[in-house]
Amino acid sequence: MFRSSFRQFVDKEVVAHVDQWERDGIVPRELYTAAGASGFLGMQVPEEYGGGGADDFRYNLIVGEELQRTGSGGVTLSLTLHNDICLPYFLSLCTEEQKQRWLPGICSGELVTAIAMTEPGIGSDLASMTTTALRDGDHYVLNGSKTFITNGINADLVIVAVKTDPTLRHKGMSLVVVERGMEGFERGRNLEKIGLHSQDTAELFFTDVAVPVANLMGTEGQGFVHLVQNLPQERLSLAASAVAAAQVAFEHTLAYVKERTAFGQPIGSFQNSRFRLAEVCTELDIAQVFVDRCIEALNAGELTADEAAEAKWWCTELHKRVVDTCLQLHGGYGYMLEYPIARSYVDARITSIYGGTTEIMKEIVGRSLGV
């Protein structure tokens, strides 16, 4: 029932606008408020704060899968970043006062969220970050900059990873929430990307921003631990979205190869096409089983960091292989933007980089093996 009602929402509120949003380089804020009004934001948030009260990640999976059917990774990420990636921090780390202040707006879509870890000088090596938040009485003075921040233009609440003690690496890190309108908080341009065109990805600048201590998220000095605790869900969300996007690309391609003919026969009937499609179909089935198992583990509170890393790197690398194969099977038409596979191809490229690169994921898995 949830899938069917979300599909109706996507058909009514999203599908007709995707091309315009891709041209705009951003989704409108009304997408969030429309999704919030229909109950598609903050499904895990307890009802007393305006959420769905359903602590089950399968709802998030459905939202991601159905949005991928629009053929736009950018539109998908706008909502999955808010629901799957940022929300868990607000749910697990906020004080009662913070929950009352922020959760109702997160659920209604009036408060759009983002998370800012990456800086111009560091990405993978988070503990080397240089953005500082130094305590001064009842507030922190925040200085530094972040880049590549998803929802960076639309966001009202940005979870910013900072150093509250710049003399330390991991143990000097904390999380603070920076709000739209705080003095000294500026947004840079909406960055031009090769794909994810409807997604606003921005630089953020902080100059002597006075962030109240009441906006500290979690415990001072525990920022790295908080990230490590929440990143498995982020990585599973990205893995699930990758499989969903690849599945959509596969279905488009299957339809295409049945219609297009060469040498007097459908191109799908060449043995090479059949074998490549059989490989894609098999790998997608295997990936879906693993993603589903990880979601069950997440729901049971048992998803480990290394399982999430396995899912993230393998599913996103599969996504890239699948769209490459599918584009090849389209021939020259696959290179034309009017065919959905073209957008799928460019949108896929980032998935093995953001949320932790494939190499960093393999480091996590490798370390868990004791090597």
Ligand X SMILES: Cc1cc2nc3c(=O)[nH]c(=O)nc-3n(C[C@H](O)[C@H](O)[C@H](O)COP(=O)(O)OP(=O)(O)OC[C@H]3O[C@@H](n4cnc5c(N)ncnc54)[C@H](O)[C@@H]3O)c2cc1C
Q: Which residues bind ligand X (CB under 6 A)?
A: 115-118, 123-124, 148-150, 193, 196, 201, 350, 353-357, 359-360, 363
Query: Distance between CA atoms of 195 and 224, rounded to whole angstroms?
Result: 30
Query: Distance between CA atoms of 358 and 315, rounded to whole angstroms?
Result: 10
Q: How far is the CB of 12 from ligand X (least distance, A)?
A: 28
CB 217 within 8 A of CB 211: no
- Residue written as token pair 């009036």: 110
Cα radius of gyration (the chain):
21
Q: How far is the CB of 272 from ligand X (least distance, A)?
A: 32
Local structure of 293: helix, strand or coil: helix
Bridge partner list, 163: 132, 173
Q: Which is nearer to ligand X, 297 or 308 (CB)?
A: 308
CB 77 within 8 A of CB 112: no
Please give the C-alpha separations between residue 62 and each of 6, 112, 347, in angstroms, as whole numbers. Answer: 8, 20, 20
Query: Catalytic pick from 220, 234, 307, 310?
Result: 234
For residue 203, indicate whether it is catalytic.
Answer: no
CB 116 within 8 A of CB 177: no
CB 193 within 8 A of CB 187: no
Please give the C-alpha separations between residue 25 and each of 198, 344, 356, 358, in angstroms, as whole numbers. Answer: 4, 16, 24, 26
Catalytic residue IDs: 234
